[in-house]
Structure 1
Amino acid sequence: MDRLYYRSLCLLDNMEQTKITFAKEIGFRKELNRRVKDYFRSENISPRDNPAMYLKTAVLLGWMISAWTFILFAPVSGWMRLIGCVILAFGMAGFVFNVGHDANHGGYSNNKYVNYILGLTYDFMGVSSYLWRYRHNVLHHTYTNIPGHDVEIDGDGWVRMYPTQEYRWYYRFQHIYIWFIYCLVPLYWSYCDVNLILSKGKYHNHVIPTPKLSEKITLLGFKVIWLGYVIGIPLAVGYTPWQVFLGVAVTFMTYGLVINIVFMLAHVLDSAEFLTSESEQIHIEDEWAIFQLKTTVDFAPKNHFINWYVGGLNYQAIHHLFPKVCHIHYPKIAKIVQEVCQEFGVEYKVYETFGGILSSNYRWLKALGRAPATTKRVSVVNSTV
């Protein structure tokens, strides 16, 4: 994973495209890192490999296996099976939020092989972990909310998420139809993975690091495995093609809706900042860590269920600052971040409720759906070109 990350950064630095630089650190990140290290040292705990995380993994794994078994083999009615599909979808989303996400960031275990194996659960669910680590770990985490670099705010022409994105007439309805698009994203990603590896080869102008033969085999092989347990096994045990189609649709559309709502909330909203300049050279007059706090928002820190279920993604700002720390530590680290932010005069943005941040996300998408002349423009104010 580290090899991919550093190889990717080297490619970014050498590409003929917009050059983005951040200001020299003023001590904010250094002080923040020092206090977090002191916290782990004083509490005598590890940033990774925690028993609480092992227990959560077992619970979520049991959730998925029992739901899948129930759907296929339990002597129940068709409606009960569809309810089982919804339950399975929420289990899959929970496993992605908690286990797969931490592992693909290197935040689950100190052992890179454990992280790699658990990270492959993304592939098992239909999405390439190899491509995800480049798209998410490198492009999104390094260039958060910077158009043309952060792939996570690119809607492939279907959704307008940032102020300088080209306007299309149908965006006026995006705050309505985006909920349906969320449902289709997992199946769309499964197709795009193959297209990116075999044909396109890049996100925007960022060339995807050439995968080894073993990495290509893993990506394509897991596509076959995914089709096998999603379609092949149900057909083999006697379900009709129509029943299989309906079950797959309900499961993956529910799964897509859940994961995309959660992943979208922390960056695409009216209180996050976006870089709006499109010059060839951009210098952001904030150190990288402060820039992350301007473009990322936390939510529902006191909601115990959300804290457990979304794997720390409601502490998205903390995650961006410490992506290789297991998410179970984020509530404690958030208090440290808040203290350092107050000392350095940096705003740490938090929505107290899930409903509050969801409303903000909805307002932002609706605002960007209007013609550009009436759209609120939000930018990183401390930037020069």
Structure 2
Amino acid sequence: MTIITSRFERRSERRAGREDTESSGGTRKLGVTRKLSTRRSDRHRGEPWRDWAAIGLLNHGQMLLVALIAPSWPYLLLAALPLSLTFATGTLTILHDAGHHRFARKVWPNVFATQTAIPLGFFVQHWTLKHRVHHRSSQVFPIDEPTRNTTVRMHQGIERKPIHRYQHLYAWFLYAFAWVGELDSQITYVRKGNIVGLEVPPFRVRLGQWLFEKAFWAVVIAPYVYLLGAGKFALYFMVAMSLGAVQAAVVLVVGHINEGLYAPSEQPAPKDWSRHLVATTASFNTTSLPMRWLTGGMTHHLAHHLKPVAPRYQLPQLHDTVVAKVVKASGLPHVEYPTLTAATVSHYRRLRELGQTDGGPPVVTGPTAS
């Protein structure tokens, strides 16, 4: 197994920095002006805090209204539908921004933003580490956590079992319980500190972080539990959380598990990193502003991976400049869908392919590429 160390990251960043600073006539090598700089000192804090306020207001406004009205069971289930949408949007936006420390360089503002705007019980400090590995080793088996899933075969490195033959049918149901898998991942991390290639805090620190964030979450939802009652709130909350999990999971999986994307089983060399991202990342709905907001910018998934801390409003420009030139230089097609529906249908076909065949040949993007 390849271990991705901070030394690799520093080499990659230095190489990327050299390429970006080569300019001609005031324009960067990839055609991006200095206005699109995504240095750590320029994280555009206003955008994430604006979205934090909007999404937090939507989530808490709905939960407070339901808690005060205390509707009967059928109407309670109906009320969970719009909450699931704002939960999903918050997960894709607020949690994702917190993972990139876009609210602040320090940890606690990112924890505060997540736990207050989307009180779903996330363990932000753990998720941040997992997401850092994802960006360093996107879709590299078995380093990137999603590639290790054995219930739904999402990588050709996983042994194919008879049950996988039907995964294109049952995966959608399992997406609703992604929060169960996330909780299991949190507990495993607290117990074992199992983050590949990164230094993690000692057990007592991990446990303290987990308990603190869970206590913070409990304080945030306590008023709604008190007003609505534990039973009704649990039903309302879990239905909204499960439906929201499906929506968020679909947006995320179509960006990496799709037709035409064949992930490798080894870490690519730094010089092949951009080509690796083209080979493993898809985009969709790149002209829709509402969809870009609802998905936290995941419509421009490749642009995000190439410039991880770029603000969402810059993604269309990055798509037309950086993405276009990197794709051209890679010699690979850019997998892009006109709509989320089209991307989802293609994801369905890819799941069927992975479940019924070896999954297709992986794209070789590492040092052995010819």
TM-score (structure 1 length as normaliser):
0.79
Q: Of 23, 28, 35, which residue of structure 2 is paired with 1:39?
A: 35
2:241 match: 252
1:74 match: 69
What is the 5 A alignment of 1:1-385? Answer: 9-10=5-6, 35-40=31-36, 47-50=43-46, 53-74=48-69, 76-108=71-103, 114-115=109-110, 117-119=112-114, 124-137=119-132, 139-155=133-149, 157-197=150-190, 199-203=191-195, 206=197, 209-211=200-202, 213=204, 216-227=207-218, 233=223, 236-237=226-227, 239=229, 241=231, 243-276=232-265, 284=269, 286-341=271-326, 344=329, 346-347=331-332, 348-372=334-358, 375-380=359-364, 383-384=367-368
Deviation of 1:363 (Å): 0.8
1:18 match: none
**Percentage of pairs with the same residue:** 18
Contact 1:283/1:384 (<8 A) preserved: no
SS of match in other structure, 2:176: helix
Deviations 1:74-133 (A, max 9, x none): 153332222222222211221222222113202345777644542555994222111111
Q: Distance in 2 between matches of 1:35 and 1:320?
A: 17
The residue identity in structure 2 corresponding to 1:196 is Y
The residue identity in structure 2 corresponding to 1:49 is R
Tell me the matched-pair count: 354
Q: Distance in 2 between matches of 1:173 and 1:308?
A: 33
TM-score (structure 2 length as normaliser):
0.82
Assess, with a 3 A threshold, how the Cα gap between structure 1 residues 119 and 80 changes in structure 2: closer, same or farther: closer
Assess, with a 3 A threshold, how the Cα gap between structure 1 residues 84 and 290 changes in structure 2: closer, same or farther: same
In the alignment, structure 1 segments of 5+ residues that lack a partner are: 1-7, 14-20
In the alignment, structure 2 segments of 5+ residues that lack a partner are: 23-27
Contact 1:100/1:119 (<8 A) preserved: yes
What is the root-mean-square deviation in Å for CA atoms of aligned residues?
3.4
Assess, with a 3 A threshold, how the Cα gap between structure 1 residues 337 and 121 changes in structure 2: closer, same or farther: farther
SS of match in other structure, 1:237: helix
